[in-house]
């Protein structure tokens, strides 16, 4: 009986090395295996090693889905270790998928191809994306073209991404969904803009509203509907006419194919209200409108939808000058206006507010003819006269030369104060220039009816007076026979104190005195004393000097003698 040779120690060593060499070559590689059993969410996989390996079923499932795995299925796994402490092979399905995915992604990154992935989680600053096993980072700014508040509808859905950055050593991948959308949108815009033309009428959806207009989606490309092209009438804000999500019919006004910008219009689809405006609103016609806007230079009044006219501030009121239009009219107020000018080409209508109302200057002229007496309040004093508020909110001016007889300049202006009620005579009314001239001195006694006496009643002039009344404090006198009345104080009756006695005069007695001024009631104040001093100064200047050696008596005597000679002649 033949016997086989027993293996030697060297044979066992060779067999062991051969076995270990084959098994260690599996580590760090992706190999194929057979699912032999599924136990408690774990799959047992035979990859041809001494023992089977265990892999969690979770690693065979896509994010958010269940694993579809059965006994006998062939799968690829990554061999991490041939044998662990329990004698089992350390296998990983995730590592296998990740290694395979990285190989594919590196090729796609070089050729700038789009990749498909699924958003499955949130991290700081963005989201995680599964790229067939490789996990990539999607920054929040790269999710969409516009900021997205809620990404939930996008999660768990396979969609294209663009690879922005890859670093296999560090395991970093950065992707962008926005780049794909922008590229797709640019392609759609380019194709769509070629199919559009100016003047075309198209339906669109309002996507966004701003203060200056609205952006309308024309089916892949946006157009700007400016607020001035929404309606012929004034529109304060686009939200007055449209809302986000509304479907609107618009006309393409202008296309810039270089910048791919489209200007849209809605009012172009309506009839132009300015057509035939000059016939509808003839010059001189009176119409009712609504105040739509108020500025510093006037107010805009809407005559009909789409047609507005400007009432310049100078045409707003007959009597209110240099005031803000907002103090005369208010927004939405209904007003009557008169058409002053129409320019259809420039789409301008000039309106007058005051012309549609009664002219207070004409009304005043009819009610108060020249020579009539009026009463009013002193509104203001200027360097040349007083302004008096009159009936109908008009002002009349009393020139300083017409305030009082014999008084002018500041002396006349100081006779009255602001707020005082006075009477005056209408001297002239100029309706065209809106001027009313008044006179106050014409109401005084001895005024126009005694022009001669009034002419002598001037300051520093000598007049003849008649004693009307004798008082302890002085004399009440009258200038001329029918002139203004005045008063001479006791101290002004003479230069000599012994002759400063009112009782030495008689009622009806006439003598000369000098007008020294006027009191607040415009009555002249007179002085015999001032006249005597003035005459003495004049005599000294004419007949003597300080070094002539003549006495004052000689000088006065000579002056008196000359006066007598002139009287005799």
CA atoms within 13 A of residue 129's CA, in its CB half-sphere: 29
d(CA 79, CA 262): 60
Tokens of 201: 């009428």
Question: For 30-82, what is each residue's pLDDT tens digit?
Answer: 677 887 887 777 777 777 776 677 777 777 766 656 667 777 777 777 776 66
Mean pLDDT of the 445-460 span: 50
Query: Which of the four pLDDT bands, split at 50, 70 and 90, describes residue 345?
Result: confident
66: phi > 0 → left, psi -120 to 50 → alpha, else beta; which?
Answer: beta
Mean pLDDT of the 251-268 span: 85
Question: Does residue 436 have a pLDDT over 60?
Answer: yes
Query: Which of the four pLDDT bands, split at 50, 70 and 90, describes residue 299?
Result: very high
Considering just the CA atoms, what is the radius of gyration of the chain in Å?
56
Question: Does residue 250 have a pLDDT over 80?
Answer: yes
Q: Tell me what the pLDDT averaged over the chain comes to.
A: 80
10 Å CB burial of residue 171 (0-12, 13-18, 19+) is: exposed
Please state, for a pLDDT cut of 70, what percent of the chain lies above it. 82
Q: Under 8 Å CB-to-CB from 376, ≥6 apart: which residues?
A: 388, 389, 390, 391, 396, 421, 422, 424
Question: Does residue 14 have a pLDDT over 80?
Answer: no
pLDDT value of position 4: 46
Question: For 480-518, what is each residue's pLDDT tens digit?
Answer: 776 778 889 999 999 888 888 899 999 889 999 998 877
Q: Domains of the chain (ranges plus CATH)?
A: 29-111 (2.40.50.140), 112-182 (2.40.50.140), 196-269 (2.40.50.140), 284-356 (2.40.50.140), 360-443 (2.40.50.140), 456-543 (2.40.50.140)
Question: For 393-412, what is each residue's pLDDT tens digit?
Answer: 888 999 888 888 767 677 78
How far does the chain reach from its first CA to its final CA, in angstroms? Answer: 204
Greatest mean pLDDT range, 21-30, 40-49, 129-138: 129-138
Please state, for a pLDDT cut of 90, what percent of the chain lies above it. 21
Q: Is 491 helix (H, G, I), strand (E, B) or coil?
A: helix
> CA torsion angle for 225, 228, 233, 234 (degrees, to 10)?
120
pLDDT value of position 162: 93
Whole-model pTM: value is 0.44
Question: Does residue 326 have a pLDDT over 80?
Answer: yes
């Amino acid at each position: 009986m033949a016997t086989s040779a027993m293996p030697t120690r060297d044979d066992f060593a060779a067999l062991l090395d051969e076995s270990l060499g084959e098994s260690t070559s599996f580590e760090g590689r992706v190999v194929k295996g057979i699912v032999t059993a599924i136990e408690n969410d774990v799959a047992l996989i035979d990859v041809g090693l001494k023992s089977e390996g265990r892999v969690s079923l979770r690693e065979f499932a896509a994010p958010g889905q269940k694993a579809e795995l059965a006994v006998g299925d062939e799968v690829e796994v990554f061999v991490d270790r041939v044998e662990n402490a329990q004698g089992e092979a350390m296998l990983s399905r995730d590592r296998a998928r990740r290694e395979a995915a990285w190989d594919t992604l590196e090729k796609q990154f070089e050729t700038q191809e789009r990749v498909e992935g699924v958003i499955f989680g949130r991290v700081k600053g963005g989201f995680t994306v599964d790229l067939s096993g490789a996990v990539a980072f999607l920054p929040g700014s790269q999710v969409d073209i516009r900021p997205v508040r809620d990404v939930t509808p996008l999660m768990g859905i396979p969609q294209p991404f663009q690879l922005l950055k890859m670093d296999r050593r560090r395991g970093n991948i950065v992707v962008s969904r926005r780049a794909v959308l922008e590229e797709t949108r640019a392609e759609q815009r380019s194709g769509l803009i070629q199919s559009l033309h100016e003047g075309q009428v198209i339906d669109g959806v309002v996507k966004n509203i701003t203060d200056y207009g609205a952006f309308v989606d024309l089916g892949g490309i946006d157009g700007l509907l400016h607020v001035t092209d929404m309606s012929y009438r004034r529109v304060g804000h686009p939200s007055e006419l449209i809302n986000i999500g509304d479907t609107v019919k618009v006309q393409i006004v202008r296309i810039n194919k270089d910048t791919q910008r489209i200007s849209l219009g809605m009012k172009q689809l309506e009839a132009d209200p300015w057509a035939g405006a000059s016939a509808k609103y003839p010059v001189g016609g009176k119409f009712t409108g609504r105040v739509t806007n108020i500025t510093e230079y006037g107010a805009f009044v809407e005559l009909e939808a789409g047609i507005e006219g400007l009432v310049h501030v100078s045409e707003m009121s007959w009597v209110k000058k240099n005031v803000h239009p907002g103090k005369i009219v208010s927004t939405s107020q209904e007003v009557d206006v008169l058409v002053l000018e129409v320019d259809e080409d420039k789409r301008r209508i000039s309106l007058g507010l005051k012309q549609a109302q009664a002219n207070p200057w004409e009304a005043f002229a009819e009610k108060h003819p020249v020579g009539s007496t009026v009463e009013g309040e002193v509104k203001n004093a200027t360097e040349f006269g007083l302004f008096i508020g009159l009936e109908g909110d008009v002002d009349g001016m009393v020139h300083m030369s017409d305030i009082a007889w014999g008084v002018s300049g500041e002396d006349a202006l100081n006779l009255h104060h602001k707020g005082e009620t006075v009477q005056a005579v209408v001297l002239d009314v100029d309706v065209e220039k809106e001027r009313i001239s008044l006179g106050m001195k014409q109401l005084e006694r001895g005024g126009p009816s005694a022009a001669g006496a009034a002419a002598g009643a001037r300051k520093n002039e000598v007049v003849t007076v008649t004693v009307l009344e004798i008082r302890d404090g002085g004399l009440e006198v009258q200038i001329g026979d029918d002139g203004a009345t005045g008063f001479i104080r006791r101290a002004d009756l003479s230069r000599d104190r012994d002759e400063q006695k009112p009782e030495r005069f008689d009622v009806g007695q006439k003598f000369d005195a000098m007008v020294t001024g006027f009191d607040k009631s415009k009555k002249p104040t007179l002085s015999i004393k001032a006249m005597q001093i003035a005459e003495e100064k004049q005599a000294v200047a004419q007949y003597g000097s300080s070094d002539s050696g003549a006495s004052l008596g000689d000088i006065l005597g000579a002056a008196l003698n000359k006066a007598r000679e002139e009287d005799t002649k």
